[in-house]
Homo-oligomer: A and B are copies of this chain.
Amino acid sequence: SRSIDLAVIPGDGIGQEVVAEGLKVLAAVLPQDVKLETREFDFGARRYHATGETLTDADLEQLKQHDAILLGAIGDPSVPSGVLERGFLLKLRFAFDHHVNLRPSKLLPGVATPLAGEPEIDFIVVREGTEGPYTGNGGTIRKGTEHEVATEVSVNTAYGVERVVRDAFARAQARPRKKLTLVHKNNVLTFAGHLWTNVFNKVAEEYPEVTTEYIHVDAATIYLVTQPERFDVIVTDNLFGDIITDLAAAVSGGIGVAASGNINPGREFPSMFEPVHGSAPDIAGQGKADPTATVLSVALLLRHLGYDAEAGRIEDAVSADLAERAALPARSTSEIGDALAVRVAG
């Protein structure tokens, strides 16, 4: 019989609330014969304040035992900027080699967008997750003086670029439009830019059916608001991916519905699924958070583990719920979760 052994990290702020709904929908969608086991981990600001720890080797050892990880949100204003981001979120992505950071953007019917007209938005961003300016490479000299120098080193390897580019080509090949856009800034960041461009062009030869294009990151932000229908699959570096996926989320219904997967495609380590939004401490504990992004992250998780039909059921349920949402009075976090659980079970 089949089973899913899930590590659950609710985390900070609204993380607790949205993860509860994600698990509710997960339980509702799984067939009877699939045994779901979950183990909760208390990472985040509370643990940091209590112990000074963010993510230890022992933690990683325990997380590693699971099939996948569902995360709510990590971060709190009481913790200095960077401590939990570098010490937990990025540490986990790097330790578990989550090199494919997958972020789909789809504007569903009935969903509000800040863009005028009726834009067609349906693309996925494959963001590199273990290199670029995110490596923590760099340093500071003469800190706090008028002669301070601080550097940040973007590290890019043929190995790291090629594997994520290959992943993106495979995803583009599997989609009806079969189009892949490389986003970088190769006219200024010429060292990294040439590596990305050359690898991209080389792998492209193996995918003659995939239409390719290259766009500078600055221009990409323009197209995301003026012609988002231009994009099908985008592959890009860690930092550019961070930036354009927030913009992509904004134009395709907001971060309330933006899901993401931090994926280790070879499954040497568990992959981690999380909403793109943060911990939103201002609305935490009030039942105001939208759990949809977490529920859609659960769908990505299921697809990663091979439960395609169940993933599709969740996505359909979300589409149906969003289509009706504008006509309904505002619902609480758990009311939205309940409604989605009913739909996927039905």
Q: How far is the CA of A197 from the CA of B152 in the complex (A)?
A: 15
Q: Is A225 an interface residue (CB 8 A)?
A: yes
Which of B116, B226, B246 interacts with A218 by CB under 8 Å?
A: B246
CB contacts under 8 Å to B, within A224-261, are: 224-226, 239, 242-247, 249-251, 254-255
Q: Is A151 an interface residue (CB 8 A)?
A: yes
Inter-subunit contact A243/B217 (CB<8 Å): yes
Inter-subunit contact B151/A155 (CB<8 Å): yes
Q: Is A115 an interface residue (CB 8 A)?
A: yes
Kindly list chain B residues whose C-beta atoms are within 8 Å of the C-beta of A115.
Answer: 114-116, 225
Q: Is A156 an interface residue (CB 8 A)?
A: yes
In the complex, how many residues of chain A place their beta carbon closer than 8 angstroms to a beta carbon of chain B? 68
Kindly list chain B residues whose C-beta atoms are within 8 Å of the C-beta of A245.
Answer: 218
Inter-subunit contact B242/A185 (CB<8 Å): yes
Inter-subunit contact B155/A154 (CB<8 Å): no
Chain B nearest CB from A59 CB (Å) reads 20
Which of B117, B190, B226 interacts with A82 by CB under 8 Å?
A: B190
Inter-subunit contact A153/B156 (CB<8 Å): no
Q: How far is the CA of A33 from the CA of B44 in the complex (A)?
A: 68
Inter-subunit contact B255/A222 (CB<8 Å): yes
Kindly list chain B residues whose C-beta atoms are within 8 Å of the C-beta of A190.
Answer: 81-82, 86, 136
Q: How far is the CA of A144 from the CA of B202 in the complex (A)?
A: 11
Kindly list chain B residues whose C-beta atoms are within 8 Å of the C-beta of A150.
Answer: 156-157, 191-192, 194-195
**If the complex has contacts A81-B193, A140-B194, A251-B225, are A147 and B151 also in contact, measured as CB distance less than 8 A?**
no
Residue of chain B at shortest CB distance from A81? B187
Chain A 145-175, CB-CB to B under 8 Å as 1, else 0, gives 1111111111111110010000000000000
Kindly list chain B residues whose C-beta atoms are within 8 Å of the C-beta of A251.
Answer: 225
**If the complex has contacts A155-B151, A158-B148, A188-B86, are A221 and B250 also in contact, measured as CB distance less than 8 A?**
yes
Q: Is A198 an interface residue (CB 8 A)?
A: yes
Inter-subunit contact A221/B246 (CB<8 Å): yes
Inter-subunit contact A154/B133 (CB<8 Å): yes
Q: How far is the CA of A157 from the CA of B149 in the complex (A)?
A: 4
Inter-subunit contact A189/B146 (CB<8 Å): no
Chain B nearest CB from A134 CB (Å) reads 6
Q: Is A31 an interface residue (CB 8 A)?
A: no
Kindly list chain B residues whose C-beta atoms are within 8 Å of the C-beta of A155.
Answer: 149, 151
Kindly list chain B residues whose C-beta atoms are within 8 Å of the C-beta of A187.
Answer: 75, 81-82, 85-86
Kindly list chain B residues whose C-beta atoms are within 8 Å of the C-beta of A244.
Answer: 221
Inter-subunit contact B156/A149 (CB<8 Å): yes
Inter-subunit contact B153/A151 (CB<8 Å): yes
Q: Is A212 an interface residue (CB 8 A)?
A: no
Smallest CB-CB A-B distances: 8 pairs:
A218-B246, A221-B247, A148-B158, A152-B154, A85-B187, A150-B191, A150-B195, A222-B250
**23 A-B interface contacts by CB (under 8 A):** A81-B193, A81-B197, A82-B190, A86-B190, A114-B115, A114-B225, A115-B115, A115-B225, A116-B116, A138-B191, A146-B158, A146-B159, A148-B157, A149-B156, A150-B194, A151-B153, A151-B156, A151-B192, A185-B239, A217-B243, A218-B245, A221-B243, A221-B250
